[in-house]
Amino acid sequence: MTSSRSWRSEEVARNDRALLRAAREVLAVDGVHASVASIAARAGVGVGSLYRRYRTKQELFQRLCLIALREYLDAATEGLAMDDPWEGLMHYAMASIRSGPGSLAPVAGTFEPTDEMTDLAEQGDRAVARLVERAHQAKVLRAGVTPVDLELLIEQLSKSPLQEQLQRQGRTELYDAARNARERVIAIALDGLRAVPAGPVPGQPPGYELFAMRWVPPAGGAQQSE
Amino acid sequence: MTSSRSWRSEEVARNDRALLRAAREVLAVDGVHASVASIAARAGVGVGSLYRRYRTKQELFQRLCLIALREYLDAATEGLAMDDPWEGLMHYAMASIRSGPGSLAPVAGTFEPTDEMTDLAEQGDRAVARLVERAHQAKVLRAGVTPVDLELLIEQLSKSPLQEQLQRQGRTELYDAARNARERVIAIALDGLRAVPAGPVPGQPPGYELFAMRWVPPAGGAQQSE
DNA sequence: ACAGTTGCGGAGTGATTCGCTCCGCAATTA
DNA sequence: TAATTGCGGAGCGAATCACTCCGCAACTGT
């Protein structure tokens, strides 16, 4: 069961990645009530394959949190490794938003964290504190902003209600527009952290259909998962 | 349990308000899967009272959306009535965040909107467009920001993952700190819309316990609803 | 004082969905 | 061809869902 030469082990790994990605997406949309069936369906595997890898639903979520914490720490240390204080801070923020600790918020507090998890969290917090302090000393970060402010802002930006609704309704034709719009919103919000005025808003101005579509039920009838 | 000196009509109105408020809160936390039982419990009434006022769960949600749309339009027109373009814009943004159209996003698209709803939405959109245009002409709004950018930013800020988790775990002692922290985050993010640099971050710097508590399960054992 | 009215809380109900198990099957190996 | 291995998903008991119904308390008219 360890390392077999060349078998379908690569498909196994691929399935596992798909499973983790699907779990994070479904968790972001459905919250705590996310069902294992929908996770497996989104990953394109059967529930049997899910339960062969994770003995229970909670075990899968724990693994997810552990991975997110690792990405969180990595993002912070990478940011610290950068020379420019502001760029380092933004690297951390962007990566942290992307890895989505915010989307894991519904799971938080539902199980006792392992020692490894608390350890990773502490290391990450220390790195972020240094990141913030460095940016303050360079006068590029707005005065008064604390690490907690930054983390809460990141969490606030982690979710994407618009993209969630789009994928819930299966309107794939608007995915690109939604992603562009989301990047603009994130850029605007993060620029509120700047001590100096920001440049122009990046990307294309979003079309109006993104906002207008929200209230009308989907045409095709494709709702929920698959 | 119900002790009122005069006739119950005032209790009826009070129950109705509590019902609507509870519905919005539960909807924000649980999404589409919010159960009527949890809504009634949070409002402090029985499910029977809920169903006497709203024939079905969807009818309650529709009423909720209608109210949110009205508040949305009111906020925009009030903002337009103000003399200062930036203050008017911020008044709209704050009020819109508070009334929480973003927390209604999960319901959006699950039913056909009534004529009154589309009408309110169109009026509101026009008012917001004027609000944005006026702010641009006064050079107080960052160049390139469109009404859709603004609305999506507002939606992004409408949810409060931290407060949701706190109330899910029943940690009432941190409510004030969480509200303060949330106001700071909102202020920071909205300042990203400014053309000119912003002042200091309002409120007290948030304590670290707000972020540290997230991963440990609640001590008392009070979880979920009730 | 007392029958009538009104709105209340929540136990009960059938249908649905949940997490999870188990098994037939196809693909791979020897 | 026989053995092995991981796969998808039907199926299971338990839990939860939206919703109904009824006994009860608060209040009114006479």
Q: In this structure, what token pair is assigned to residue A54?
A: 């994770």
Instruction: Give B44's DSSP letter.
Output: T
Lowest mean pLDDT of A152-161, A169-178, A217-226, name the range. Answer: A217-226
Task: Indicate if the pLDDT at residue B5 is higher than 50.
Answer: no
Tens of pLDDT, residues A176-205 = 999 999 999 999 999 999 998 888 899 999
Q: In which residue are the tokens 């409002």 written?
A: B43
> Å between A10 CA and C25 C1'?
21
The CA distance from A141 to A145, in Å, is: 7
Residue B104 contacts strand D, CB under 7 A:
no
Q: In this structure, what token pair is assigned to residue B147?
A: 């009404």
Helix (H, G, I), strand (E, B) or coil at A67: helix
Greatest CA span in chain B, whole angstroms? 58
Task: Indicate if the pLDDT at residue A223 is higher than 50.
Answer: no
Task: Indicate if the pLDDT at residue A3 is higher than 50.
Answer: no
Residue A4 contacts strand C, CB under 7 A:
no
Residue B17 contacts strand C, CB under 7 A:
no
- Nearest CB among A118, A151, A193 relative to B211 is that of A151
Tens of pLDDT, residues A82-125 = 999 999 999 999 999 998 766 787 787 788 889 999 999 999 99
Task: Indicate if the pLDDT at residue A224 is higher than 60.
Answer: no
Q: In this structure, what token pair is assigned to residue B125?
A: 């959109």
Task: Compute the radius of gyration of chain B from its Cα atoms.
Answer: 20
Question: Does residue B169 belong to the interface with chain A, where contact is any CB pair within 8 Å?
Answer: yes
What is the Cα A166 distance to its own chain's centre?
Answer: 17
CATH class of A12-53: mainly alpha
Q: What is the mean pLDDT of residues B160-176?
A: 84
CB atoms within 10 A of CB B213: 18
Q: Where in chain A is CATH 1.10.10? A: 12-53
What is the Cα B18 distance to its own chain's centre?
Answer: 15
Tens of pLDDT, residues A125-143 = 999 999 999 999 999 999 9
B105 and B155 Cβ atoms separated by less than 8 Å: yes
B103 and B27 Cβ atoms separated by less than 8 Å: yes
Which overall architecture, per CATH, does domain B10-53 show? Orthogonal Bundle (1.10)
Q: A124-144 burial, b if ≥16 CB within 10 A, otherwise e?
A: bbebbbbbbebbbeeebbbee
Q: Which residue has the higher pLDDT, B199 or B67?
A: B67
CB atoms within 10 A of CB B139: 12
Tens of pLDDT, residues B83-130 = 999 999 999 999 999 987 667 877 877 888 899 999 999 999 999 999
Distance between start and end Cα atoms, chain B? 17
Instruction: Give B45's DSSP letter.
Output: S
- Nearest CB among A108, A144, A200 relative to B143 is that of A200
The model's confidence at residue A222, banded by pLDDT at 50, 70 and 90, is: very low
Task: Indicate if the pLDDT at residue A12 is higher than 90.
Answer: no
Q: Where in chain B is CATH 1.10.10? A: 10-53
Please indicate whether, in this complex, the C-beta atoms of A152 and B185 are within 8 angstroms of each other. yes
